[in-house]
């Protein structure tokens, strides 16, 4: 078993051993936050909060990642430093009066975030509902996905094009860790709200490109594309990136439309492809080193849905 170096333990404990930084760590018990949100919660200046965050990141207790112009922070998941961060969290007295005030301010931030996400969803939900009325219900798709993966051991799960985060929520009880990737910051805001409401703490979402996922090689057991590839200009490249992510025993699932002729979906909803043929998808799988093992068709009112399951060769 790898041990954390003595000097790294000292750096981590010194970083945590300061009042504001311990308050910051306590706030990450339930998710990720931005600098702006932390400034609002702690009622301190941005330069001061940023300095504390930098020290916590340098100590390996927090990690940061950029999403457009925003930077998100979360408890580290890397190595022994990440384990040490969680061990420190276990000793933080959550009943402390100051920490309770911080928690109240955090709830105010979350409430504002929820209100913004709800407004965006309200403005855009009409288009999504119109499309969904054309094909198989999401409940049926989700049921089939869970049945298809019933025999899988899924430690790490990647949902490409996560949208509202619904698939992460569906799989949250089956996995140890889930990551959702999407290009839309607005959709990611909705996903974060939905995951918080559902008390899903083992999943996170981040901004990313399906062609360049910026995640480690062979770090996932299952990669899923749910109604995503019909937007892709190069589906094969997206599948190639999924292959890179999969462990040797990993699997990829694609859920998408069977071929159709609803041309207005190109103009009104930015669909690049009007569904996919079985032989076409099979050829793409083979070209990137995946082997299609199972294909299932679900009948809809105007659009049929196909589910492909592929294994890494």
- Predicted pLDDT at 69: 66
Report pLDDT digits (tens) over 17-58.
899 999 999 998 877 888 999 999 999 999 999 999 999 999
Report pLDDT digits (tens) over 66-79.
756 678 898 887 77
- CB within 8 Å of 234: residues ≥ 6 apart: 211
Q: Pick 134-312's CATH classification: 3.40.50.300, 3.30.1440.10, 3.90.226.10, 3.40.50.150.
A: 3.40.50.150
- Predicted pLDDT at 74: 85
CATH class of 6-106: mainly alpha
Report pLDDT digits (tens) over 226-239.
999 998 888 999 99
**222 closest CA partner among 165, 146, 278:** 146
HSE-CB for 304 with a 13 A CA cutoff:
14
Q: Which residues of the chain have pLDDT under 70?
A: 1-4, 67-69, 117-118, 120-134
- Predicted pLDDT at 288: 94
- Predicted pLDDT at 151: 92
Portions of the chain given CATH number 3.40.50.150: 134-312
- Predicted pLDDT at 105: 93
Portions of the chain given CATH number 1.10.10.10: 6-106
What's the per-residue H, E or C state across the chain?
CCCCCHHHHHHHHHHHCCHHHHHHHHHHHHCCEEHHHHHHHHCCCHHHHHHHHHHHHHCCCEEEEEECCEEEEEECCCHHHHHHHHHHHHHCCCCCHHHHHHHHHHHHHHHHHHHHHHHHHHHHHHHHHHHHCCECCHHHHHHHHHHHCCCCCEEEEEEECCCCCHHHHHHCCCEEEEEEEECCHHHHHHHHHHHHHCCCCCEEEEECECCECCCCCCCEEEEEEECCHHHCCCHHHHHHHHHHHEEEEEEEEEEEECCCCCCHHHHHHCCCCCCCCHHHHHHHHHHHCEEEEEEEEECCCCECEEEEEEEEC
HSE-CB for 298 with a 13 A CA cutoff:
19
């Amino acid at each position: 078993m790898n041990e954390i170096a003595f000097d790294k333990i000292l750096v981590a404990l010194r970083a945590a051993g300061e009042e504001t930084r311990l308050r910051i760590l306590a706030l990450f018990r339930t998710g990720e936050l931005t600098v702006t949100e932390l400034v609002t919660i702690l009622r301190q200046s941005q330069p001061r909060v940023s300095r504390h965050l930098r020290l916590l990141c340098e100590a390996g207790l927090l990690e940061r990642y950029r999403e457009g112009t925003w930077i998100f922070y979360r408890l580290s998941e890397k190595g022994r430093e990440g384990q040490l961060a969680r061990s420190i969290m276990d000793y933080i007295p959550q009943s402390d009066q100051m920490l309770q005030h911080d928690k109240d301010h955090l709830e105010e931030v979350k409430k504002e975030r929820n209100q913004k996400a709800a407004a965006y969803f309200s403005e855009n939900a009409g288009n999504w509902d119109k499309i969904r009325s054309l094909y198989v219900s999401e409940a049926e798709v989700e049921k089939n996905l869970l049945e298809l993966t019933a025999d899988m051991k899924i430690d790490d799960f990647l949902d490409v094009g996560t949208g509202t985060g619904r698939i992460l929520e569906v799989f949250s009880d089956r996995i140890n860790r889930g990551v959702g990737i999407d290009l839309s910051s607005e959709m990611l805001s909705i996903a974060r709200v939905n995951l918080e409401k559902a008390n899903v703490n083992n999943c996170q979402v981040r901004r990313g490109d399906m062609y360049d996922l910026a995640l480690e090689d062979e770090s996932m057991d299952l990669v899923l594309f749910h109604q995503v590839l019909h937007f892709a200009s190069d589906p094969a490249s997206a599948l190639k990136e999924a292959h890179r992510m999969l462990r040797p025993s990993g699997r990829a699932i694609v859920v998408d439309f069977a071929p159709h002729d609803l041309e207005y979906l190109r103009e009104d909803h930015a669909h690049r492809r009007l569904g996919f043929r079985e032989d076409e998808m099979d050829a793409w799988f083979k070209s990137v080193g995946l082997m299609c093992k199972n294909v299932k068709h679900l009948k809809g009112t105007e659009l049929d849905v196909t589910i492909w399951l592929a294994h890494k060769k």
